[in-house]
Homo-oligomer: A and B are copies of this chain.
Amino acid sequence: MGAHTDTRNRIQEVAIRLFTEQGYEATSLREIAEALGVTKAALYYHFRTKEDIVASLIEDRVKALDELIAWAGGHPHTPEIRGELIRRYSAQMTRGRHHEVMQFMDRNKTALQGHAKVDLMRERMGELMQALCEPDDPLPVRLRRSMALFAMHAAWFLIRDESTTEEERTAAGLQVALELAEGSGG
């Protein structure tokens, strides 16, 4: 954990904040550099490209998704397993930068298209969805299950209320997600 790792971390911190607030394309490397009190060229010592900064930001999230998919692969598609999968997903959102990463991606959907790591992560989300529902489930069920995952993101960034605690967000997201997954019609 020398000065190298530290600067690298500070770059990531500022980058994800600005990418989320102002947008990925609207945020120049010059702007990130200035916020850190260094120059553009300094960033290029730590990251080969702008895309590499993004890749570094989401790699923990991809790993976490891989674990979830692997776990789901060893279990049958039952309501109980779906519930547990959702609980585990919810728990991930409380750790590290995971919910920040999801918000960053949600707000920059098109801008991140074509980034290798981002496309990989979209694939993983698709695989996770397949663990939550069969292709021949009725449309309302598929819609509800897709939205179950979204509920756990939305709890963090759809509700903008500053006074809401992290525990309340997590609980609300989890509750709505579980209802959506096993609601009256599915």
Binding site for B on A (CB under 8 A): 19-20, 22-26, 106-111, 113, 139-140, 142-144, 146-147, 150-151, 154-155, 158-159, 164, 168-169, 171-173, 175-176, 179-180, 183-185
Contact = CB atoms under 8 A, between A and B. Distances in A.
Query: When A and B form their complex, which 7 residue pairs have the shortest distance between CB atoms, in order from nearest?
Result: A23-B110, A139-B172, A25-B25, A107-B109, A140-B172, A107-B110, A140-B175
The quantity of this chain's copies bound in the complex is 2
Given A23-B109, A24-B110, A180-B180, 14 more contacts: A22-B110, A25-B25, A25-B110, A25-B111, A26-B111, A109-B109, A139-B155, A140-B172, A143-B151, A143-B155, A143-B158, A143-B172, A150-B154, A179-B184
Nearest to A111: B23
Contacts of A25: 25, 110-111
Contacts of A185: 175, 179
A25 to B, nearest CB: 4
Contact of A109 (B108, B169, B173): B108
B108 A143 contact: no
A18 to B, nearest CB: 10
Contacts of A23: 109-111, 113
Nearest to A146: B158
A143 B147 contact: no
A148 B59 CA distance: 31
B140 A147 contact: no
A30 to B, nearest CB: 17
B26 A144 contact: no
8 contacts: A25-B110, A26-B110, A106-B109, A139-B159, A139-B171, A143-B172, A147-B151, A147-B158
Contacts of A139: 155, 159, 164, 168-169, 171-172
